[in-house]
Structure 1
Amino acid sequence: MPSHGSNDDGDISRRPLLKGLGAAGLIGLAGCISEEGDVEADNAAEELIAEGFEEEGVEPPFETTVYANSDSSDRIAYGELIQNELNETGFFDVSFDDMEWGAYLDFMNSVAEEEENALLCNGHSADWDPHVFMNNPYHSSAHSPSGINTNHFEDEEYDDLVDEGVEESDQEARQDIYADAQERLVELSPVALIQFGEQVTAWNNDEVSGFKTHPMAGREFTAVYAPHEGVYTEVDNDDDELRVDLGSDVPDFDPISQEDTVSLMATTLVYESLIAVDFAGTPQPGLATDWEQEDDTTWRFYLREGVEFHNGDEFTAHDVQTSYERYEDEVRESDVYDWYESSEIVNDHEIVIEHHRDYSGPFEATGAGDVPIVPEGAEDGDVNLSDGPVGTGPYQFDEHQEDDRFVIERYDDHWYTGDEYDNDVPETPPVETIVMEVIPEGSSRHQALEVGDIDLSQGLPAESVAEFEDDDDFDVDGALGLSNEYLTFPLWQEPFNNPKVRRGISGLIPRETIMDNVFHDVGELAYTPISPILEDFTGTDYQDELAEEHLEVQ
């Protein structure tokens, strides 16, 4: 399920942090203010800004603020670099502020309604189809708070391209459509893309074996037990307990309102979907044993029998229908109602799902593969998911101590028997209990892993990863991810309502400096939203061409 990325330092670099360089020391002087108070543009990107200021009647320097979430040292670092880069032009007087993640999430969701003068450091955790990268943060139907288009960007031409792309089944035609959509987005630049992230995990190899890093943010702990992928994790201790870290507390247990990657991480092994998507994005049987597309907008699913929820309720087609329809008018509504029309329950183990448009391209991986199924009782209050998640997965909720830990334990009545997939995953998860310790500070995570308070970390600071890579007692594993980092502009606020100003700022962002000194060359530079992991839809040369043409990046 796509979401805002809290970026609790999960995209970790592997090079030693450069010493002795403050943010201001990493960037050179650009524009300057003359004795008469006029600002002189020193390069093509600044000329765009100057033109935009003139068109909007704005006199420099313009005051604004860059914001980031306080639990992300990466966002704080690149936010301050952007602050200093803009201040050096003379066109802006930029301050910087940070907030705790929960408050920051609320701020992002209300920033458009309140028309705040704010530039936000943000991230997007996407999925295995380009539509999710292009739709959820930018389509007009996904405005916050019912979607994650937080600055309420709206462009009819862009919407039409995204809608056309999702309804096109021919792969080459889809590539052309999404190329046009990405160019349109760069032309208008409602955000400035910065970096495609990499998922990195480190663990004590005396305690943990078999773990594999998942490329999708929010799915970090999938490899603890993933029969559909042929992956499972073992631990070497008397309690069969795996201790891991979380960058913040778990704010939400209910899928219809989960907007952050930490909530997804904590509940990944609790909830299951109709289709299980493997680590390469390939659909596998999940709660549905088989499915078929009957026409452009009709899909039939045959459901697994003998499955029980953790509360003992039998899993049926009624639960599937409820799980989808609960999204209406909720914060994650667009995840489902972007395509969902209705469903017909044929019997307890067969359901027909109707779309209001052709959603063939992304449906298996995102529509059926990324919507958690919950008990029917969650709709009428018989099952209260705010007290704890209730799913059908291999692990069930045990306890939550606010700001301290989130614990799940092996569900012994899980449906997997060892025969459903052609691999050697054992019938029962080797790990009995997973203790997720809330450890916001990167240095504290390092110490916790080093001294054995935790066995595995998915959010170490950069210098820590380099140290653990050099230590034979630890393994470090990374994978290019399905996420990106970007700066969001307040489109309602002059001069940011002018695309020239936004493109000029995007062209000035010191991406290479950010990559070198914040992300330490882990991940890739970003100018468009779609991750290079979907190589048919993007590439370095294509992105560089758009940056040179529209952002004046040389």
Structure 2
Amino acid sequence: MPSRHEDSGESRTINRRNVLSTIGAAGAVGLAGCGDQSGSGDDGSGNGSGDGSSDGGSGGDGLFPLQVQLEVNADNSDRVQMVELIAESMEQTEYFETEIETYEWNTYVGRVLDPEYQDNGFIPCIGLSGTFNPESFCNALHHSDNIGACCNLNGISDSELDELMDSARYGQEVAQDNALRAERYDEVWNYLAEERYSSITHFDLETSVSNTDVHGFEMWPFQEGMYSYNMFAPQDEQIMWIDRDTAAGDSELSDLVEGGTLSIAVGANIESFDPPHSSDTTSTLAQNFLFESLVANDTEGNIYPWLAESYELLDTTDIDRTAYADYMSTVETTEEGVPDTDEQIIIQHPEDNPAEDDEVRVLLPDDAVEAAEDGTYGMHYRYSLQEGVEFHNGDEMTAEDVVATYEYYENSQLAPQTFDSVLTAVEVDEYTVDVYAQIADAEAERELPGILVLNANQLAEIEKGSLDPREDNVPIGTGPYEFAEFEDEQYYEVTKSDNYWVEQQGVAEAFSWFDGSDAFPDGPVIDGFEVEIVPDDSTRSGALQNGEIDSTYGLNSSTLDDFDSSEDYIVYGVETGGYEYIQYPVNVEPFDDPRLRKAINHLIPRQAIVENVLNGYGRPAWTDLPELAQGSGTADYDALEDEIRPTNEYDPERAAELLEEIAAEN
């Protein structure tokens, strides 16, 4: 699609043929709400066969040297180099013979999220996007409920650990006492250090690079929300604009220029426009132009009403999940040991085991509504919706849309992390929705409303998972931008809505909590976004240097210093909730021995990874807890680091001692 670039700023498009010439079919760079915060590197073609043919853990006639297969997505050169560094460190002990298999991203995600992957004995490396909540740095990787979901890749199932994580999040005590919650999370971090099921290697420094035409840009700690935050975030008085005549610097609201089209490049294809049926970072980034939530967060994690004009906690009760027994349905189990039902399981009775029992008791959606109506619930929140909010098709948003959205999330990719807390959502009246938590939840205020609100009329006409232009279903939201055009694996365009509800009401009128400057605009000021899909790192870098795009993110760390030293570009960075990790196949011998896992952990050169691979754009994970989640995740971070850091230090001598112990017994 030939196009032109006029310096006047009235038309800002790029030569797509030029930019897209080396694009492969690589997928998303990470998992969101479980997504990664790093970029992509080579052509993403991968060299892994994907057939699982490696023995992944057999050591020939003796245990050592142990043959180990490490796996990683090929389209992230930093991550590949990190795995190579770990493999080299393991090889130097002479206790291991390593092999690295790489895969194109979409193939890789499907591979590692397959529940059968845990039986292969492989060590996968992947990146995730955490949240402001500490549970996302332990629960996603280790809770048995997340096996085959996001992102317990190797079947970690430890009932004692499950109880520790649950006790730090659920129950009236921790929901009302943040200090107690922090103490219980300290127990989790110490337990993980002792068992060492996974190794978090480092916390990402989220980076983006823009030319100096982009003004007012600030970093958001989660990649999937980077551009939606910058385009309009009154909770932080954050607004981004384009000025092609004045170089960005200490820009102020008084300098704001309206209009123009911003061209950005993302490192992966947009795999889905269907919010609950996708979990990769790039898809969520694309969806955030179109859809909005009941609440919003600022950079400190504080929560503000958004599509909900206000909300309140009406009631909290002291129950556990066995309280739902009288409302549960009985279903048979399959040969694979799972409940035999097509409906969303809200709660499975804690005393039942589908792997052993022919029948189990489960709470299904209709059962959950009945329980809530009878007063059996953990928490009861009421959301009073903004009136006059219109979807892009002109429909007014009402409680019906919110309830329909929760139902649409059932049996989706995001169902495990939605219905780990949500009991049900009930329409009270046209503009009021009650959302119930299963039990008291310290994270309920953020997690219960954690959906992107969809249009009920559209949902009634489509099959689940098909809210996508590739399925001839144009996504309809309430956001400030409307879907304009999408070419699979090439580009995506949105244009500013003519009837955005915040602009119609005015920011001060729409948000009672807004106490910012009168000069802050009532909506985004950029007319549209062109999102170029460019998986190759060097191609994105070259497009930025050639003036074909205005901004990108996740570039290979080796190129960031060059941009930082130039007066024509600005490099932005912030430590994020993103983290990289490897996970051990705990269900395959000899990885069921924690000494082996600890030994490999001592062979991970975290400091060298940050310095030599990431060029300093990251922080070694001496604990499993990043800065943004420390407030509720530990009673004393300095004390926690003093205690946990020695277990994560690069220490080949200690690794050799552990391996020698194992060798002596074998």
Q: C-alpha deviations, 1:135-164, integer Å up to 9, x for none?
A: 22221111214x421212111111111111
Distance 1:445 1:364, change over 3 A: same
Pairing 1:152–2:238 present: no
Question: In structure 1, the residue corresponding to 2:574 is in which secondary structure?
Answer: strand
CA distance in structure 1 between the partners assigned to 2:207 and 2:305 by the alignment:
27
Pairing 1:496–2:496 present: no
Pairing 1:127–2:137 present: no
Q: How does 1:174-213 map to 2 (within 5 A)?
A: 174-205=181-212, 207-213=213-219
Question: In structure 1, the residue corresponding to 2:384 is in which secondary structure?
Answer: strand
Question: In structure 2, the residue corresponding to 1:218 is in which secondary structure?
Answer: helix
Question: In structure 1, the residue corresponding to 2:92 is in which secondary structure?
Answer: helix
Aligned length: 508
Would the aligned equivalents of 1:412 and 1:428 in 2 still touch at CA under 8 Å?
no
Q: C-alpha deviations, 1:358-401, integer Å up to 9, x for none?
A: 11x22223332x32111123543348512243221111221211
- Which one of 35, 38, 42 corresponds to residue 4 of structure 1? 35
Pairing 1:87–2:87 present: no
Pairing 1:66–2:70 present: yes
The equivalent of 1:391 in structure 2 is: 477
Pairing 1:341–2:434 present: no
Q: Which deviates more from structure 2 when the two are superposed, residues 222-231 or residues 284-293?
A: 222-231
CA distance in structure 1 between the partners assigned to 2:158 and 2:648 by the alignment:
17
The equivalent of 1:414 in structure 2 is: 500
Q: C-alpha deviations, 1:256-312, integer Å up to 9, x for none?
A: 122211111112221111111112211112100111111221111100111111222
Using CA pairs below 8 Å that are at least 6 residues apart, which structure has the higher relative contact order? 1
Q: How does 1:460-499 map to 2 (within 5 A)?
A: 460-499=555-594
Question: In structure 1, the residue corresponding to 2:617 is in which secondary structure?
Answer: coil
The equivalent of 2:455 in structure 1 is: 375
Q: C-alpha deviations, 1:398-426, integer Å up to 9, x for none?
A: 12111111212111211102323333431
Q: C-alpha deviations, 1:31-71, integer Å up to 9, x for none?
A: xxxxxxxxxxxxxxxxxxxxx999x9961122221111122
Question: In structure 1, the residue corresponding to 2:444 is in which secondary structure?
Answer: helix
Pairing 1:263–2:266 present: no
CA distance in structure 2 between the partners assigned to 1:59 and 1:113 by the alignment:
22
Query: Highest CA radius of gyration, 1 or 2?
Result: 2
Pairing 1:219–2:225 present: yes
Pairing 1:404–2:515 present: no
Question: In structure 2, the residue corresponding to 1:180 is in which secondary structure?
Answer: helix
Pairing 1:354–2:374 present: no
CA distance in structure 2 between the partners assigned to 1:542 and 1:400 by the alignment:
48
Would the aligned equivalents of 1:64 and 1:93 in 2 still touch at CA under 8 Å?
yes
Would the aligned equivalents of 1:112 and 1:150 in 2 still touch at CA under 8 Å?
no
Q: C-alpha deviations, 1:206-248, integer Å up to 9, x for none?
A: x110111101131121212223331111113597100111001
Question: In structure 2, the residue corresponding to 1:4 is in which secondary structure?
Answer: coil
Distance 1:63 1:540, change over 3 A: farther
Would the aligned equivalents of 1:216 and 1:483 in 2 still touch at CA under 8 Å?
yes
CA distance in structure 2 between the partners assigned to 1:120 and 1:175 by the alignment:
30
Would the aligned equivalents of 1:406 and 1:436 in 2 still touch at CA under 8 Å?
yes
CA distance in structure 2 between the partners assigned to 1:326 and 1:85 by the alignment:
47
Query: What code does the residue aligned with 2:444 have?
Result: F
Question: In structure 2, the residue corresponding to 1:232 is in which secondary structure?
Answer: coil
Q: 1:428 Cα shift? A: 3.8
The equivalent of 1:24 in structure 2 is: none
CA distance in structure 2 between the partners assigned to 1:380 and 1:316 by the alignment:
15
CA distance in structure 2 between the partners assigned to 1:112 and 1:414 by the alignment:
46
Would the aligned equivalents of 1:67 and 1:120 in 2 still touch at CA under 8 Å?
yes
The equivalent of 1:548 in structure 2 is: 646
Q: C-alpha deviations, 1:72-127, integer Å up to 9, x for none?
A: 11110101111111112222111112111111110111164462232111111011
The equivalent of 1:532 in structure 2 is: 627
Q: 1:475 Cα shift? A: 1.6
Query: Unpaired segments of 5 or more residues in structure 1?
Result: 11-51
CA distance in structure 2 between the partners assigned to 1:247 and 1:346 by the alignment:
43
Q: 1:461 Cα shift? A: 2.0
Pairing 1:285–2:367 present: no
Q: 1:551 Cα shift? A: 7.2
CA distance in structure 2 between the partners assigned to 1:240 and 1:430 by the alignment:
8
Distance 1:308 1:382, change over 3 A: farther
CA distance in structure 1 between the partners assigned to 2:648 and 2:125 by the alignment:
22
Distance 1:381 1:507, change over 3 A: farther
Q: How does 1:21-36 map to 2 (within 5 A)?
A: none
TM-score, normalised with respect to structure 2: 0.73
The equivalent of 1:322 in structure 2 is: 404
Distance 1:157 1:280, change over 3 A: same
Query: Unpaired segments of 5 or more residues in structure 2?
Result: 1-31, 42-56, 245-257, 317-378, 655-666
Would the aligned equivalents of 1:200 and 1:479 in 2 still touch at CA under 8 Å?
yes
The equivalent of 1:430 in structure 2 is: 525
CA distance in structure 2 between the partners assigned to 1:181 and 1:532 by the alignment:
17
Would the aligned equivalents of 1:250 and 1:263 in 2 still touch at CA under 8 Å?
yes
CA distance in structure 1 between the partners assigned to 2:588 and 2:305 by the alignment:
48
Query: What code does the residue aligned with 1:199 have?
Result: E
Q: 1:443 Cα shift? A: 1.6
Would the aligned equivalents of 1:128 and 1:366 in 2 still touch at CA under 8 Å?
no
Q: How does 1:92-171 map to 2 (within 5 A)?
A: 92-110=96-114, 112-113=116-117, 115-145=119-149, 147-167=150-170, 168-169=174-175, 170-171=177-178
Q: Which deviates more from structure 2 when the two are superposed, residues 324-333 or residues 193-202?
A: 324-333
Question: In structure 2, the residue corresponding to 1:545 is in which secondary structure?
Answer: helix
Would the aligned equivalents of 2:37 and 2:204 in 1 still touch at CA under 8 Å?
no
CA distance in structure 2 between the partners assigned to 1:105 and 1:89 by the alignment:
31
Distance 1:116 1:445, change over 3 A: same
Q: 1:131 Cα shift? A: 2.0
